[in-house]
Amino acid sequence: MGDAIRLPAESRNQMARYDPRIARAARGGEAIEGIACSIRDIATGKLVPMTHGNLEGYVLEVLHNRTFTLQFSSSKNTGGPRGPDRVTDNPSWKRLRTLLRAMASQQQLLSAASGGLSREPLSSLLDGWRVIKVRAELVELVE
């Protein structure tokens, strides 16, 4: 949880099931980037703080970086009316990433599916969430 990830544009991830607009963008050559906000072990159905071994056994909920861009979100999420040019320079992006990592280390696991993103301590951090589900083996870590 809290890792910055990228889903390469050439991956086939059946994203249309979750958001057809994102799937069209991916087909057009746009990689999807974001922060892993939950990790689910497919075999047990349970949330876990990190992956181990074979990534094919995990599904990630990813908070899409568009959550932090003005054309798709609010000025609260973008860090002001203009916001920084790079999403990773956004103070909200940095706070969320730090908080998710701290929660994972304390075994405080959440998911959008369980309503965890709409409760504190996350609900006051951002106005809204743009979350997609992806298979873990298709993502790359971004650092």
Tens digits of per-residue pLDDT, 96-106?
A: 999 999 999 99
68-77 long-range contacts, CB within 8 A, separation 24+: 68/92, 68/93, 72/130, 73/127, 73/128, 73/130, 74/127, 74/128, 76/126, 76/127, 77/126, 77/127, 77/128
| Predicted pLDDT at 120 | 84
Examine the pLDDT at 112 and tell me if it is beyond 80: yes
Q: Which of 16, 49, 2 is nearest to 134 (CA)?
A: 16
- pLDDT digits over 69-82, tens only? 777 766 666 666 66
| Average pLDDT of the chain to the nearest whole number | 81
CA triple 121-117-78, angle to 5 deg: 80
User: Residue 94: which of 129, 65, 73, 72 has the closest Cα?
Assistant: 65
Q: Which of 86, 63, 66, 64 is nearest to 74 (CA)?
A: 66
2, 141 Cβ separation under 8 angstroms: no
Mind listing the pLDDT tens digit for each residue in 42-62? 999 999 999 888 889 999 999
Q: For the chain, what are the domain ranges?
A: 4-141
User: What per-residue confidence (pLDDT) applies to 28?
Assistant: 54
